[in-house]
Amino acid sequence: MDRKLLDILVCPLCKSKLTYDKKAGELICKADRLAFPIRDGIPVMLEEEARSLSPEEEVE
Ligand SMILES: [Zn+2]
């Protein structure tokens, strides 16, 4: 995942910066507690495709 790409990516809902979860291969919005998938190296920035984080999931 390209660092520069990560810098320009924002959450489509709240426009805040995303955190890259390398292990899960997801982009996390801490504010909305949503995880956006990365497919074939391309971040899927769609609310419909995002996964809601469970309360147990730690967002650093
Ligand atoms: Zn958000």
Please provide residue 32's backbone torsions phi and psi, each rounded to the nearest 5 degrees.
-95, -10
- pLDDT computed for residue 60 by the predictor: 67
H helix intervals, 1-60: 3-8
Quick one: pLDDT band at residue 5, thresholds 50, 70, 90? confident
Residue 3 has pLDDT above 80, yes or no: no
40 CA → ligand 1 middle, Å: 22
pTM of the complete model? 0.86
13 CA → ligand 1 middle, Å: 5
14 CA → ligand 1 middle, Å: 4
Contact indicator for 23, 42 with CB cutoff of 8 Å: no
Q: What is the pLDDT of residues 29-47, one digit of tens each?
A: 999 999 999 999 899 999 9
Domains of the chain listed by start with CATH number = 3-52 (2.20.25.10)
Which residue in 11, 19, 25 sits closest to 60, CA to CA? 19
